Amino acid sequence: MSIQDVADYLSGPFTEIDGWCDPYLWQVLAPLHEAQEALGVSGPVAEIGVHHGKLLIGLMKTKGSPSGNLAIDAFDLQQFNIDGSGEGSIQMLQDNLARCGYRADALRLVRADSLTLGAADVPDLRADAPEGFTFVSVDGGHEVEYALSDIRLAMALAMPEGIILVDDFFAPDWPGVTEALARLYLHDRPQFVPLLAGYNKLLLCHRSHRQGFSRTLVQYIKDHLNTRVHAKVVTLFGYRLINVEPDRSQPFEPIVQ
């Protein structure tokens, strides 16, 4: 990551691109990116539910990933957006990519009802990222069946060192997302487990890396965010995770070690 690229994006186009994304999220995306680098992994990012690319472009900037990125959205097939969450637009997405310095082929667009995508589609969806995606955001349909299906798809798209970001966790307007996570973790034992809650998201990582990422985050919060966030270790569905609430009275600035 070029911290300057991310900072320029967050203080520039990010403020003008329509969408739903908390800039303070980069308080934890920055150290998670660094932790992935320390593990020797890099590579493209993916999102299910893109709208105009506000978060996705930020993830691309974070990973410095010029190609192989993936955007899944119903786009103009809005009859599949049954809860009316956002409205994907290929034109707006491509305009925003261009203004952020990306060529149109930086991102593969998949125009589909994500509910129809499953295990059989994974090899094709991973064709440009054979090792898997570094960050996968889930922010498509918010009804329980959609969220559950999208989270399972994200787990199949992410690399083992990858981070999955599930939007609207515990959001009262979108209880389907929380119900999907409850179904997932109370009825199953998936390989990706809760790591951090905050910024209106639940972040998941692979069991194998939970301890490593968790230690990195705890240390980073102590060293860099101590006066900037409230942080508490909590238990959810039997998994220990860090709940983070930023102090929004302080100006946001992305920090790296």
Write the interaction track for ligand SAM spanning residues 99-118; mark x where CB under 6 A is met and - where it is not.
--------------xxx---
Contact string (CB under 6 A) for ligand SAM, positions 146-175, x = contact = x-----------------------------
Long-range contacts, 21-24 (Cβ 8 Å, 24+): 21/54, 21/55, 21/58, 22/199, 22/200, 22/246, 23/252, 24/199, 24/246, 24/248, 24/252
Applying CB under 6 A, the span of 27-35, 133-141, 157-165, 244-252 interacting with ligand SAM comes to 133-141
Q: Contact with ligand SAM (CB under 6 A): which of 68, 140, 194, 254?
A: 140
**Residue 69 is a binding residue for ligand SAM (CB under 6 A):** no
DSSP-assigned letter for residue 222: I
Please check whether residue 24 is in contact with residue 42, taking contact to mean a CB–CB distance below 8 angstroms: no
Question: Kind of pairing, strands 46-48 and 69-73?
Answer: parallel
Residue 160, burial from CB neighbour count under 10 angstroms (0-12, 13-18, 19+): middle
Interaction of residue 74 with ligand SAM, rule CB under 6 A: yes
Contact region with ligand SAM (CB under 6 A), list: 27-35, 46-54, 194-202, 234-242: 46-54
In terms of residues, how long is the chain? 257
Binding-site member from 1, 32, 44, 51 for ligand SAM (CB under 6 A): 51
| Contact between 201 and ligand SAM per CB under 6 A | no
| Comparison of 55 and 163: residue with beta carbon closer to ligand SAM | 55
Q: Give kind and range of the element (H or E) at residue 197.
A: strand 192-198
CA atoms within 13 A on the CB side of 155: 18
> Please, which residue, 154 or 221, has the CB nearer to ligand SAM?
154
Asked whether the beta carbons of 251 and 227 are under 8 A apart, the reply is: no
- Among 36, 62, 69, 81, contact with ligand SAM (rule: CB under 6 A): 81
Min dist CB 151 to ligand SAM, Å, is 13
Closer by beta carbon to ligand SAM, 53 or else 210: 53
Show the CA angle centred on residue 149, arms to residues 145 and 155, nearest 5°: 150
Name the residues that contact ligand SAM, by CB under 6 A. 19-21, 49-51, 54-55, 73-74, 80-81, 85-88, 113-115, 139-141, 146
